[in-house]
């Protein structure tokens, strides 16, 4: 189903990294490989509010709110404490948009697969499945 067919509803993607630069670069890469002009909202949530390495619940929540178009939000993370921060936000119940999922996927390959799949108008389950399948990508 295309974005137009679904009344503008598209899955949003949040990329959580301990580094603002890494999150922004992976977002740029994924959007570029999805065609650049993709209507998929992608938001990096990297580092802390003070620009340090780490994760920020506030930055993650703001990023999720910014990409929410009503079709769900897929959140991909880089390392362990980012996972814990997202899990804590999900446990709160009201910090993230409804239908937000933490996606267990490799950060770069999963982000590309998620954005490319979301750009086809796929639902959240399909976006999550595509990102998760990136674990199977072989480089040899």
Q: What is the CATH number of the domain that holds 82?
A: 3.40.50.510
Asked if residue 3 is part of any domain, the answer here is no
**Mean pLDDT computed over 2-20:** 79
Using 50, 70 and 90 to split pLDDT, how confident is the model at 1?
Answer: very low
At residue 32, the 3 state secondary structure works out as helix
Q: What is the pLDDT of residues 101-134, one digit of tens each?
A: 999 999 999 999 999 999 999 999 999 999 999 9
Asked if residue 108 is part of any domain, the answer here is yes
Asked if residue 110 is part of any domain, the answer here is yes
At residue 119, the 3 state secondary structure works out as coil
DSSP state of 39: -
Asked if residue 97 is part of any domain, the answer here is yes
Domain count, the chain: 1
The residue that leads in pLDDT, 35 or 23, is 23
Asked if residue 81 is part of any domain, the answer here is yes
Asked if residue 72 is part of any domain, the answer here is yes
Structural domain for 128, as ranges: 12-136
The residue that leads in pLDDT, 37 or 71, is 71
CA distances (Å), 56 to each of 2, 41, 72, in order?
33, 20, 21
CB neighbourhood size of 3 (10 A)? 18
Helix or strand run (H / E) with residue 36 = none
Residue 43 β-bridge partners: 14
Asked if residue 6 is part of any domain, the answer here is no
Asked if residue 91 is part of any domain, the answer here is yes
* CA-based nearest residue to 34, from 116, 127, 118: 116
């Amino acid at each position: 189903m295309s974005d137009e067919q679904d009344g503008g509803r598209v899955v949003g993607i949040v990329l959580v990294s301990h580094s603002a630069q890494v999150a922004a670069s992976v977002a740029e890469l994924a959007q570029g490989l999805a065609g650049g002009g993709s209507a998929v909202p992608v938001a990096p949530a990297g580092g802390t509010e003070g620009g340090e390495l780490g994760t920020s619940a506030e930055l993650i929540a703001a990023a999720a709110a910014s990409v929410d178009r009503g079709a769900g939000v897929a959140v991909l993370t880089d390392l362990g404490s980012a996972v814990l921060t997202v899990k804590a936000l999900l446990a709160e119940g009201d910090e993230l948009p409804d239908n937000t999922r933490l996606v267990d996927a490799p950060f770069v390959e999963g982000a590309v697969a998620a954005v490319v799949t979301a750009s086809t108008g796929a639902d959240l389950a399909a976006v999550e499945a595509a990102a998760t399948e990136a674990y199977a990508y072989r480089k040899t």
